[in-house]
Each structure stands twice: as structure tokens, then as C-alpha cells.
Chains A and B, each alone.
Chain A
């Protein structure tokens, strides 16, 4: 069942200078779609545009087939959570306070239980809940950012380069968590520079080149690298792989 549909998104930061050009894709329940592409392809701008954080945007985002017209702060209320690449936790707030911010979307009676449940998923965070998030390591911050996004039980999770700046060991941990989250029924749109790691857990891949969709299909054929290299260099997915 399709959870999120993105139709003909054109987005950028200045009028008349789009970075994302006419992008459409859909996201099924429990599916991981990785958005990959060369630097400057518009991957991060695409997730920000879906989250309503880009000033210039046309096109349509639909949840369960219904267009979303709400402002950015209301997206969380309709089940879309976004984890930006940087500055994705409130550094002056404690771990628990960060989670309480996310939990505020839930009915009061469920908040404490849900915070405990999410802390169980990320044991590193559970040991020091009163620590300021600014004192966490890069990997722990990433975990907290994902935990904060997950706490209100979103149906769609938009992740912008969750592995950026992390050691290989931490990357494995983050990607295992993402796979587990999707296995629980959450649809994940994963923007990633670490293409190999992203393709390992993704069901589908959306390749963006110069703001346009160069390929939208199963992740498997891209794992060999040849097709991917050709797409990154401006070829099409229809050309035979040599």
C-alpha cells in the first residue's frame, strides 16, 4: 500500500532557480527507498522540500492519496518525520527532553511509555537520559535524532544522510536500526552519500542527477556498481550494462 506519493516536485531556494526538477516517486508501507546521486544532484533539497522547509516549491505531496496542504510544523502530526543531516538534535536540551519534544505529538497518557520504548531501542541513550544532547558523540546524536523522529510513531521517515561523519562501525549500527524500523512498517526515504551501505538495506533506489530522476527501480541491479556509475555520469537505466 502506498503511504507517501511525491508528484512533480520542483523546488529550490530562489525563485526561478530550481534545484529539484519535476521529481515524482512513491513510497510503500515498510519500504526503504534510497535517494542517491552525485554531489549537488538535489537529494537533500528533495527531502527538505517534502518536509516543507524549502521556500520555493511547486508540485504535490500526498499521504494516503490525500494532498498535504498543512505547514511544515503540522507534517509531524500527519505522520511524516524528518531527520536533517546536520543540527538534527536540540543540543541544549537533554536526551530525555529531546524525546519529550517528539512525544508531545502523542496523547499525554502514552508519552512516558513511548519514551521508555524508544530508549529500549537505543540503549546507548538510555544510560544517560539527563545528559545534554550537545555532549553526545556524532553517532549518538544520529541515534537521538532518529529516536526523536520515531517517538511519535510516524508512518513515513525522511532521513538526510544519517551516516554523514560517522565511523564505519557506527554506520553499520545506524543502517541496522533503519532496516529494523522499516521492518516494523515505517516507510523510509533515505538520502545517502554512502551508496553501497544504502543499497544494502534499500528495496528501491531513486537516482537523482542534476535535480531530475535518472532511475527509479529496485535497488538490486544497482549493487554491481556499473549501472550506477553510468547513471551518475548522465546515462539512462535503459542502456545495456557492459
Chain B
């Protein structure tokens, strides 16, 4: 087997893991499958594109060192993350907060499906279906040994995704906010009597989930392209990664995303690229049948 497929799988897995972390947080704390998450990813990518475009007027558009991106995108990234977090909060305030009171999960899921469609159409209307790029510069893939090649951007994305996962793990395990989020995810009533304000945790979750989706979106845009359906197309592998890793588990989302990414990439030489999407579906089914709580999930 060509190890290049494994390298490609690691890159895809890093993106799926990062996108999956936000999804697993919203899934476990807000208790519904949020279909808008993929479109938060798209929105974040486009917001960073616009912001980087504006900033490049003042800072210039040259890449730093071997990378295709420069200071405009680096500065645009945290702003796009924060803005996507605000977008998620706004959507919760306008839509989900009201429906949550009724306590019916299926209503929330269908509402998220509708919101996803609306947001995606809005993005397509504003930016057209034509793919966009953060940089048109050609990047030369560097030889890494064993016949594996990767561009500097791809290496940066894998490193930054790993670092982001680590930061998030520390946030969730070493801070009061993180403990409160894990507590509400497991038992909202007990969290409430323990003095945790669930509404505050829900707001934090939307903001963090939106921000992480934007981060994954920018990384995806950097290594592939930016288009209105980029997040929606990633939904199945994102959900598969979250469920493989165990809903509610951040390390699980990272590991599950990596497993799905690598499995998809390794399947390409065997079953062809056209069928790679089915691998995520098969993995999802297998985990639900054999170990429904996922690799890192705990049985109740």
C-alpha cells in the first residue's frame, strides 16, 4: 500500500477531528444532532476569506516562509472564529432557545436542518457556487520519506489541529468552564443543583462549537478549496467520527475523526475514490451495532 494514502488520511482525519470536537460538544450538551455545524464550518471559512482580503490591503498578501498564507489570514482566523461563535449564539437565540423549552429532540434536529439549508443558500447567494482560495500560489509538496509528500500548508494544518485538540483537552479538564460543560453534558439536573447555570454552559458551547467549526473550515479551505457545500459535504464523516469516538468525548472525537479519515483514504486504492464516502457510513453502522457508546464513550 502506498503510504501517501495514509498521509492523506491523517490530514483528512485531523480536519474531521477538529470539526468533530465542536459537533460532539453541541451533541452532548444541547442533546440534538446539529446539522448546522457543517455550515458553521463553511461560514467560518468564508468569513476568514473576506477578513483576510480586507487585511491584505494593509498588510500585503505575501505568504510567510514556505506557506501560502500570510499575516492577513493568521489575523483573520481568530476574528472569524469569534464571529462564527457569535453567529452560532445568534442562531440559538433566534431559533433553538425557543424550541429547546419544548424538549423535543426531533423538532430541534429538523429546525437545524432548515437553518442549515438557509445558511448554505445565503452563503451561495453571497459568494456564488464558484470555489474560492485563500491563495492562488502553487505549493510544492515536500518529500517526507517513505514516498510520502506533503505541502507546508498541509503540515501546518496537521500540527495546528493537534495543538488545538490539546488546548481544548486542557480547557475541558483543567478549567471550571470545562468541568461545568462536562457536568451539564452528563447530567443537567445534577449540574443545576450543584450550582452550575445550564444557560451559561449552553451559550459557551455554542460559541466554542462555532469557533472550532470555523477553525476546521479555514483549515479545509487552506488545504482544499472554499465552496458553499464544503461543510455540508463533511457532515456524514463528521458524525461518523463523533460516534466512532463516543459522543461527548473530545479525545474520542479527535481519534474518531482520525480513524474515519484514515479509513476513507486507505479505501481509495481498494474501492476507488467515488466510494470513499461509504466508508464513513459503514464505520458508523459497525460502531452502532458493536459498541454503541463508541471507543471513548462510557456506558451509563
What is the interface of chain A, defined by CB distance below 8 A to chain B?
51-53, 71-77, 81-82, 84, 87-93, 97, 100-102, 104-105, 132, 134, 148, 152
Contact = CB atoms under 8 A, between A and B. Distances in A.
Nearest to B299: A134
B193 A87 contact: no
Main secondary structure of the interface of B (DSSP, over half): helix
Interface of B: 173, 176, 179-180, 182-183, 186-187, 189-198, 248, 298, 300
Contact of B182 (A72, A88, A93): A93
Nearest to A104: B176
Given A53-B192, A76-B193, A82-B193, A93 B198 contact: no
Contacts of B248: 92
B194 A92 contact: no
Most chain-A CB neighbours within 10 Å: which of B176, B191, B193, B198? B193
Contacts of B193: 51, 53, 72-73, 75-76, 81-82, 84
A87 B190 contact: yes
Contacts of B187: 87, 90
28 contacts: A53-B189, A73-B193, A73-B195, A74-B197, A76-B194, A87-B187, A90-B182, A90-B183, A90-B187, A90-B190, A90-B191, A91-B186, A91-B300, A92-B182, A92-B186, A92-B298, A93-B179, A93-B182, A93-B183, A93-B186, A97-B182, A101-B179, A101-B180, A101-B191, A101-B195, A104-B179, A148-B194, A152-B195
Contacts of B182: 90, 92-93, 97
Contact of A134 (B191, B196, B298): B298
Given A88-B190, A93-B179, 14 more contacts: A53-B192, A73-B193, A73-B197, A76-B194, A76-B195, A91-B300, A92-B182, A92-B248, A93-B182, A101-B183, A101-B191, A101-B194, A102-B194, A148-B194
9 A-B pairs with the lowest CB-CB distances in the bound complex, closest first = A76-B195, A82-B193, A73-B192, A72-B192, A73-B197, A105-B195, A90-B183, A101-B194, A104-B176
Contacts of B197: 73-74
A152 B196 CA distance: 13
Most chain-A CB neighbours within 10 Å: which of B173, B189, B192, B196? B192
A129 B173 CA distance: 14
A152 B195 CA distance: 10
B252 to A, nearest CB: 11
B204 to A, nearest CB: 14
Contact of A97 (B179, B190, B192): B179
Contacts of A102: 194-195
B31 to A, nearest CB: 15
Given A90-B187, A91-B298, A73 B179 contact: no
Nearest to B248: A92
Contacts of B189: 53, 84
Contacts of A92: 182, 186, 248, 298
Contacts of B192: 52-53, 71-73
A75 B193 CA distance: 7
Contacts of A75: 193, 195
Contacts of A91: 186, 298, 300
Contacts of B196: 73, 101, 104
Contacts of B298: 91-92, 132, 134
A91 to B, nearest CB: 7
B205 to A, nearest CB: 16
A164 B180 CA distance: 27
Nearest to A93: B182
A51 B182 CA distance: 22
Most chain-B CB neighbours within 10 Å: which of A72, A73, A81, A134? A73
A72 B195 CA distance: 8
A82 B192 CA distance: 10
B176 to A, nearest CB: 5
Contacts of B191: 73, 90, 101
Most chain-B CB neighbours within 10 Å: which of A75, A92, A134? A92
